[in-house]
């Protein structure tokens, strides 16, 4: 259990929480405000992550310019997804969005010459003829930890640098998103969440509102992909499985989907559950190997979700009254 006492563990939890928190900010505005059930959110993260990897490795771009293009592509992809499928009603859109994310993943998997295919970003062709590893994320994060080292010594880790990069963005985005959710734009969007016909009959272009929401959410997904690329430097298609989308959903359900400000607490809680399971070494969990225990996170998080659904369906910060209105 001493792992939990190490600052390093908590720094890791925070780094994860920041990344997944930004990721679920996208789902929050889509579902919590717009009622759009997007189960393919991971596709946006994959697109921006891979765009960065390819631009940096194959075309020698700087990381941040590549990141900008990655996020723009994620937004365009959100627009494409919306234009083609958003006229489907709730459940059908959810299914289409899963298919969409899988198309993205299979495309990455099967275009070896661009993305490295199954071998991940290591196999992205680079002009140097070496494997497609980029040290740009390391350079960026080490630059920060080098400056922290004189101040805090050994604790100046790569993860801590990551936390310092990702959290200001995360908090800024929460702030922007919560401001946005106070506008009349969001009010119309909330109306579309319950009923299409009412806003339409009052002169509101429901499709436009939905499409905008999907794109905004996709931008958050794309930005999460930027930080993912920064944190892990190496990408592989199996990093972008459906489960990642559902991690985002877990954070959202934990926080309560209609309250954006609670999201960071839920993200930390998620980060803890995600990071902690492998360190749970007491009996009977000690019978399992460490990687086996890592899978416990899925059970544990699922269990917490079920518990919440029963005891507190509005999430940690939601309003219960909203759940019971008919």
6 contacts another protein (rule: CB under 8 A) = no
Among 129, 201, 291, 311, binds another protein (CB under 8 A): 201
Stretch that binds another protein, among 10-18, 121-129, 192-200, 227-235 (CB under 8 A): 192-200
Please work out the total of residues on this chain that contact another protein, with binding judged by CB under 8 A.
Answer: 27
Contact 235, 119 (CB under 8 A): no
19 contacts another protein (rule: CB under 8 A) = no
Distance CA 211, CA 216 (A): 9
In the bound complex, what is the minimum distance in angstroms from residue 257's beta carbon to another protein?
12
In the bound complex, what is the minimum distance in angstroms from residue 324's beta carbon to another protein?
8
90 contacts another protein (rule: CB under 8 A) = no
C-alpha to C-alpha distances, 13 to 173, 269, 271, 306, nearest whole angstrom: 19, 9, 5, 23
Among 202, 282, 310, 311, binds another protein (CB under 8 A): 202
183 contacts another protein (rule: CB under 8 A) = yes
* DSSP per position, 172-188: HHHHHHHHHTTSHHHHH
Q: Which lies closer to another protein via its Cβ, residue 212 or residue 245?
A: 212
205 contacts another protein (rule: CB under 8 A) = yes
274-307 b/e (C-beta count within 10 Å ≥ 16 → b): bbbbbbbeeeeeeebeeeebeebbbeebeebeee
Q: Which lies closer to another protein via its Cβ, residue 37 or residue 300?
A: 37
Contact 104, 115 (CB under 8 A): no
322 contacts another protein (rule: CB under 8 A) = yes
91 contacts another protein (rule: CB under 8 A) = no
Q: Which lies closer to another protein via its Cβ, residue 42 or residue 215?
A: 215
Q: Which lies closer to another protein via its Cβ, residue 83 or residue 139?
A: 83
Among 193, 210, 259, 297, binds another protein (CB under 8 A): 193
In the bound complex, what is the minimum distance in angstroms from residue 200's beta carbon to another protein?
5
Distance CA 41, CA 159 (A): 25
187 contacts another protein (rule: CB under 8 A) = yes
Phi and psi, residue 43, nearest 5°: -60, -40
195 contacts another protein (rule: CB under 8 A) = yes
Distance CA 10, CA 212 (A): 36
In the bound complex, what is the minimum distance in angstroms from residue 181's beta carbon to another protein?
11
- Closest to 70 in 3D by CA, of 224, 195, 202, 198: 224
In the bound complex, what is the minimum distance in angstroms from residue 326's beta carbon to another protein?
6
Alpha-carbon 201 to chain mean position: 35
175 contacts another protein (rule: CB under 8 A) = no
281 contacts another protein (rule: CB under 8 A) = no
In the bound complex, what is the minimum distance in angstroms from residue 223's beta carbon to another protein?
18
Instruction: Count other Cβ atoms within 10 Å, centred on residue 129.
Output: 6
Contact 250, 301 (CB under 8 A): yes
Place of tokens 């749970």: 280
76 contacts another protein (rule: CB under 8 A) = no
Alpha-carbon 111 to chain mean position: 24
Contact 233, 134 (CB under 8 A): yes
Among 44, 86, 188, 223, binds another protein (CB under 8 A): 188
Task: Name the site residues for another protein (rule: CB under 8 A).
Answer: 179-180, 183-185, 187-188, 190-191, 193-195, 197-206, 212, 321-322, 325-326
């Amino acid at each position: 259990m001493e792992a939990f006492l190490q600052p390093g563990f908590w720094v890791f939890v925070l780094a994860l929480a920041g990344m997944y928190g930004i990721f679920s900010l996208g789902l929050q505005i889509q579902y919590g405000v717009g009622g759009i059930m997007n189960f393919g959110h991971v596709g946006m993260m994959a697109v921006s992550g891979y765009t960065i990897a390819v631009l940096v490795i194959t075309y020698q771009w700087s990381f941040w310019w590549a990141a900008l293009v990655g996020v723009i592509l994620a937004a365009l992809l959100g627009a494409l997804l919306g234009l083609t499928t958003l006229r489907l009603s709730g459940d059908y859109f959810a299914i289409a969005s899963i298919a969409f994310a899988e198309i993205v993943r299979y495309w990455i998997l099967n275009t070896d010459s661009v993305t490295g295919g199954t071998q991940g970003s290591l196999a992205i062709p680079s002009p140097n003829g070496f494997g497609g590893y980029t040290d740009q994320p390391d350079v960026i994060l080490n630059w920060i930890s080098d400056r922290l080292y004189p101040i805090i010594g050994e604790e100046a880790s790569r993860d801590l640098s990551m936390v310092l990069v990702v959290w200001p963005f995360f908090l800024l985005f929460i702030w922007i998103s919560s401001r946005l959710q106070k506008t009349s734009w969001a009010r119309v969007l909330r109306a579309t969440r319950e009923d299409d016909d009412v806003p339409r009959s009052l002169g509101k272009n429901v499709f436009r509102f939905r499409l905008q929401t999907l794109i905004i959410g996709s931008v958050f997904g794309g930005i999460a992909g930027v930080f993912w690329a920064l944190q892990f430097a190496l990408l592989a298609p199996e990093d972008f499985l459906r489960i990642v989308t559902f991690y985002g959903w877990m954070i959202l359900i934990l926080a309560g989907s209609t309250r954006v400000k609670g999201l960071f607490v839920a993200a930390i809680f998620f980060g803890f559950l995600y990071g902690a399971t492998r360190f749970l070494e007491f009996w009977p969990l000690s019978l399992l190997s460490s990687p086996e225990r890592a899978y416990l996170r899925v059970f544990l998080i699922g269990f917490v979700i079920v518990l919440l659904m029963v005891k507190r369906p509005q999430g940690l910060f939601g309003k219960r009254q909203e759940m019971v209105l008919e």
